[in-house]
Amino acid sequence: MQIEYQTFQLIKRFALTISRGTSAGTTNVWVRVGADGYEGWGETAPFSWSGIHQDAEITIKHLQQLQPQLESLHPLEREKIHQVMATAHMPSGARAAVDMALFDWMGKATGLPLWKLWGLDRETTPITSVTVGINEPEQVKERVRDWLEHAPGCALKIKLGSPKGLDFDRSIIQAVKEVAPADIPLRVDANGGWDLAGAKEMCDWLADQGVTYVEQPLARGQEDDLIPLRQSSPLPLFADESCLDRADIVKLADRVDGINIKLIKCGGLTEAMGMIKTAQACGLQVMLGCFSESALSIQAAIQLSPLAQTLDLDSHLNMKNIPFEGVSLQEGRLLPGDLPGLGVKKGKDL
């Protein structure tokens, strides 16, 4: 197969602030594999926390190193391709982009969208949440109003864990509740911004505010503290930064209620499917989430979305430029479409 790759820029409509910092744009990588007259596409986006760092430069370097070995294989030889990437310790984002492209190729070669190839029922796709970052209360209200206009029917995922402390976090929730309709589902992601005492206090308070779950209350590395937190918390707990792949699920099974799977974090659709089965076996709920991704890799996650209980696939809805297009929101849901493969097309800005 031939493999090609290039970077592209995404500019956010609203800069997003979480507990670790602010992002107004991103440089992602577009990967294309070609064979037998068909071309499959994949994408990766940067992410970093607790000593993990991946970006476009690192992705391109690894793709260049493995290009001769990868090009000696056919897109249907996914197992061999994954062995090559694992042996070379290729970062998860680069592996994810290649894996997505292989599945996109297979869907195009067979003329079927992936959800159909996998036998999934798209009607079970849950609504997605859209993200409200950490900000002053007036800016939070402006962000919520914009989402209510542009993404009706979605849940709101509110970023907390502000370095300004728990009172500031409470002011964000109060601002959201001033402008959001009472029946809109509210979810919270602290991105590891609390300590155990603060997390206990906030889980109690957020339950009273009608929030439905809390994601990554404690930083990666503090998983032992999830045990007492879960014993006291009236809200379900989800792991994101603490859960990279299948191996982490087994370690977390007795201390969280669900896991957030991201294709770029775990290494692609192949590993994500393994994670979903592992989570089901451990009795954990599955959320599918994203980094600062375009519609290309969001479309890959959408193909799996009928298997998730919770979706957080909104990054492409916060981009000014549109390099790729996928399905549009229908009453809060991103239903997998009928185009083959990932179901993604070139957008007006590519």
Q: Which residues bind Mg ion (CB under 5 A)?
A: 189, 215, 240
Q: How many CB atoms lie within 10 A of CB 250?
A: 11
CA angle 301, 304, 307 (to 5 degrees): 135
CB of 41 to Mg ion, least distance (A): 25
Give residues with Cβ within 8 angstroms of 267, minimum separation 6. Answer: 85, 92, 95, 96, 99, 245
Looking at the Cβ atoms of 99 and 189, the one nearer to Mg ion is 189
Give the residue among 45, 71, 83, 39 at the shortest CA–CA distance from 313: 45
Distance CA 323, CA 298 (A): 13
How many angstroms separate the most distant Cα atoms in the chain?
59
Residue nearest to Mg ion (CB): 240
Q: Distance from CA of residue 22 to its chain's centroid?
A: 17
Between 18 and 56, CB nearer to Mg ion: 18
What's the closest the beta carbon of residue 237 comes to Mg ion, in angstroms? 12
- Cβ 305 to Mg ion, closest distance in Å? 17
The minimum distance between CB 101 and Mg ion, in angstroms, equals: 25
Q: How far is the CB of 85 from Mg ion (least distance, A)?
A: 25
- 104 vs 248, beta carbon nearer Mg ion: 248
Complex with Mg ion: residue 54 or 341, whichever CB lies closer: 54
Nearer of residues 169 and 215 to Mg ion, judged by Cβ: 215
Q: State which residue, 49 or 118, has the beta carbon closest to Mg ion.
A: 49
CB of 192 to Mg ion, least distance (A): 9
Residue given tokens 């728990």 in the structure block: 166
Tokens of 3: 């493999």
Residue in 12, 16, 77, 10 with CA at minimum distance from that of residue 44? 10
Q: Cα separation of 69 and 52, whole Å? A: 26
Question: Which is nearer to Mg ion, 184 or 188 (by Cβ)?
Answer: 188
* Minimum gap (Å) between residue 312 Cβ and Mg ion: 7
The token pair at 152 is 């009706």
CB 270 within 8 A of CB 261: no
- Residue placing its CB nearer to Mg ion in the complex, 42 or 133: 133
Amino acid at 226: L
With H, G, I as helix, E, B as strand and everything else as coil, classify residue 196.
helix
Could you give the angle at the alpha carbon of 140 between the alpha carbons of 138 and 143, nearest 5°?
115
Taking the complex as a whole, the smallest distance from the CB of residue 347 to Mg ion amounts, in Å, to: 26
